[in-house]
């Protein structure tokens, strides 16, 4: 249940951060949402990659 709560908190926060970050990159609101969505997916992907790598390192090196 904890992971689900973390995801539900992380996704909107990441999206709103990307909206703020990419607001000047598009001329209209639809463009901002499109750019923010792409950037949010990229951030989520790299977050998952980092978490998986950390878990593998933990399994390999910690008893």
pLDDT digits over 15-61, tens only? 999 999 999 988 999 999 999 999 999 999 999 999 899 999 999 99
For residue 22, the surrounding DSSP H or E stretch is: helix 2-22
3-class DSSP assignment, residue 39: helix
| Angle at CA of residue 56, ends 52 and 59, nearest 5° | 140
pLDDT for res 6: 84
* pTM score over 0.85: no
49 near 23, Cβ under 8 Å? no
């Amino acid at each position: 249940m904890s992971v689900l709560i973390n995801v539900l908190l992380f996704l909107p926060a990441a999206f709103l951060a990307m909206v703020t970050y990419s607001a000047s990159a598009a001329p209209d609101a639809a463009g901002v949402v499109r750019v923010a969505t792409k950037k949010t997916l990229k951030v989520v992907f790299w977050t998952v990659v980092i978490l998986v790598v950390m878990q593998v390192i933990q399994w390999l090196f910690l008893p």
